[in-house]
Structure 1
Amino acid sequence: MCGRIVHTLPPEAMRSLLRTRNLLDSVPRYNIAPTQPLIAVWEESGHREAKLARWGLVPRWVKDPRDFPLIINARAETMAEKPAFRDSLKHQRCAVPASGYYEWRTDPAGRKHPYFITYGDHRPMIMAGLYATWTGPQGEEFDSLAIITVPANTDLAHIHDRMPALIEGDGIERWLDVRTVRANEAVSVIGPAPEGTMAAHPVSPRVNSARNEGPDLIVPVPEDPFAAASPKPLKEKAKNPQQFDLF
């Protein structure tokens, strides 16, 4: 899973990394939560555009977004089969630049401990995502997205069983090319990050509240000895049967 994101990349760095035609002014964010806007990049009329999209995918066929469940992640293994993701996987793939993200580890007592996760060399992350544009009956519209997740690699499996699908190099090119790269080909470029590339450290529980912001949220704190007592990878969580048709 991926439920909070850190984004501190300057606009010029994003344009250089993803070759966008435009720039979006942004301020450093250290605790972006679902339903808030995320910067994403996708191809539009043959050009790459940086856009703001609501974090929480709303497919175009939804009648009323207020009655639709919040979908912030799409499982890579099943997204091609799910109605909420099928069209976006074919025609509306996007990339979400980030500086890192948070994940919560559950200790043997059931307590949750937040960790900040980045590449080990602190280079920017590019997360694979899916977007959709919803249009209302009065012509109102907005863009929304979900971040794709894959099984966690060995660097992170002791924290959580899932991680965002990270893409690099030619993988970015193929993922964003919805004109010539078919969905099944695009899926082949995503997967867990290579072993030994990720780093994580415990952070303050202040990140638990989306109201808290600032660089102090990513500062390492001493690890709780109870949180470190169970290094075995976590098991996959059972799916919610009420969400079977969506996820």
Structure 2
Amino acid sequence: MCGRFALHPTLTEAVREFRVPRREAEAILVDNDDIRPTMPVGTVISEAGDRHVVPMRWGFLPDWYERVDGGPLLINARSETIAEKPAFRAACRARRCLIPMSGFYEWQVLGPRAKRVHWLEPAEASGGAFAGIWQQWTGPDGTTLQSCAIVTCAASDDLKHIHARLPLVIEPESYAKWLGEEGHGAARLMHPPNQGWWRVEPDRGPPRKDQLF
């Protein structure tokens, strides 16, 4: 799964990789070592063939939620069932997004009260983004909020000892397919990357607050 991640963007590379306006990337894709659920995250969406960077709440809000806390916090959507779940199926078909990242943190369960944190980042500098889905939620008072979830898949064999699931990664050559710019076929992208795609650094977790200054 994915519950904490980081983004350390290089502006020029982000603009080139995602083909988004520089002013949007500069304003929204900001450096952060510890991105958590309910925080705003930068997402890349495609509208009429034009890509934009849009801030969204990490925590998908189904249409029937009357409040932002009106049900379970939906930060992940399983690739195996995303097309069937009432909360996600419409977004899966029509509102897919890319979530730029530099890597994520995962906690390996070692026992009833023991966990070991790992940092996972792309092993090569070829780029990649989390696969996401999004939608605009409207509250009873007319308040609107755009929200998203990260799609997950089964872990590759080399990482199953850390966690059974991984965030789904979309590589640059498949961005257009995931965003719907090349028609149908996004379902074929819902599989873990090849073994070795993620580089693992054990015992590296998010910075503690007392380490920030």
TM-score by length of 2: 0.89
In terms of fraction of residues, the more strand-rich structure is 2
Match of 1:113 among 113, 116, 126: 116
Tell me the CA shift for residue 109 of structure 1: 5.2
Q: Is the 8 Å Cα contact of residues 129 and 147 (structure 1) preserved in structure 2?
A: yes
Q: Give the greater-gyration-radius structure (CA).
A: 1
The residue number in structure 2 matching 1:171 is 174
Q: Which runs of 5+ in 2 are unaligned?
A: none
Q: Give the match for residue 4 of structure 2.
A: 4
Residues 1:11 and 1:116: Cα distance change in structure 2 (over 3 Å): same
Structure 1, unaligned stretches of length 5 or more? 217-247
Contact 2:127 2:171 in 1 (8 A): no
Residues 156/208 of structure 1: CA separation in 2 closer, same or farther (3 Å cut): farther
How big is the alpha-carbon RMSD for the aligned residues of Structure 1 and Structure 2?
A: 2.2
Query: Take 1:11 and 1:190, find their aligned partners in 2: how far apart are those partners?
Result: 28
Write the distance in 1 (CA, Å) between the matches of 2:105 and 2:163: 11
Q: Distance in 1 between matches of 2:133 and 2:88?
A: 7
1:161 to 1:5, Cα distance in 2 relative to 1, 3 A = same
Aligned to 2:20: 20
Q: Distance in 1 between matches of 2:53 and 2:7?
A: 14
Equivalent residue, structure 1, for 2:53: 50
Identity of aligned residues (%): 33
Specify the SS of the correspondent of 2:159.
coil
Question: Does the residue aligned with 2:13 lie in a helix, a strand or coil?
Answer: helix
SS in 2 for 1:41: strand
Contact between 1:3 and 1:72, CA under 8 Å: does it hold in 2? yes
Which of 85, 88, 99 is the equivalent residue of 1:85?
Answer: 88
Partner Cα separation in structure 2 for residue 82 and residue 45 of structure 1: 27
Mapped pair 1:132 → 2:120: no
Pairing 1:1-247 to 2, within 5 Å after superposition: 1-22=1-22, 23-24=24-25, 25=27, 26-108=29-111, 110-177=113-180, 181-182=183-184, 185-204=185-204, 207=206
1:216-247 CA distances to partner (integer Å, 9 max, x unpaired)? 9xxxxxxxxxxxxxxxxxxxxxxxxxxxxxxx
CA distance in 2 between partners of 1:188 and 1:17 (Å): 22
SS of equivalent to 1:35: coil
The one-letter amino acid of 1:84's match is A
Q: Distance in 2 between matches of 1:134 and 1:150?
A: 25
